[in-house]
Amino acid sequence: MPFMASSLPSSPPRVRVAAYVIRRHPSPALLVFDHLDFPDAGTQVPAGGVAPGEDPERAVLREVAEETGLRGARVVRRIAVDGRPHPETGRPRLTTYLLLDAPPDGPAEWEHRVRGDGGDAGMRFVCRFAPLPLAYPLADAQDAHLGRVDPGWGATGGAVG
């Protein structure tokens, strides 16, 4: 029998979460970050894998704290489930986007170094609250579901910054 790619079992998707952390005052802004060590990675929202047995709400709070150091965010609701594959590897992913309210106080911009022993350990991120609607698209089209939170929020074009 000849080899056929379609006869291979497909690998299960990597289960992930992505956070839209919104600071409401003085005006709506989205928590984003840039990798200091990998500037070509583009501006992103906190996102990452869901551990076996972990629910998306717990995972998203963990990812926000790990990648940005921000604590005290509150999960509001799930927004969307996105099945787009990884943009570079093509590997299947299933990402649940969640809306979170940021704590009302805190800095508008800060640097965070990831602690622990995970794959991100030691990475340095510059975190900030970007005004909404965004003036630029996010890496990996992570801004694709902002319109489900508010129809006026989303990328308006321009360079990633």
Residues 103-153 pLDDT 10s: 988 899 999 998 867 777 888 999 999 999 999 999 999 999 999 999 999
Residue pair 127/68 in contact (Cβ under 8 Å)? The answer is yes
The strand pairing partners of 101, in sequence order, are: 22, 74
Residue 63: phi and psi, rounded to 5, are -60, -40
How much is the pLDDT for 32?
Answer: 98
Give the pLDDT band (50/70/90) at residue 14: very high
pLDDT at position 6 over 70:
no
Q: How far apart are CA 154 and CA 144, in angstroms?
A: 7
Count the neighbouring beta carbons within 10 Å of the beta carbon of residue 21.
26
The pLDDT tens digits of the residues spanning 56-86 come to 999 999 999 999 999 999 999 999 999 998 8
Task: Look up residue 109 and give its amino acid.
Answer: E
Model pTM score: 0.87
Average pLDDT, the chain: 88
How much is the pLDDT for 4?
Answer: 46
Domains and CATH numbers, the chain: 11-148 (3.90.79.10)
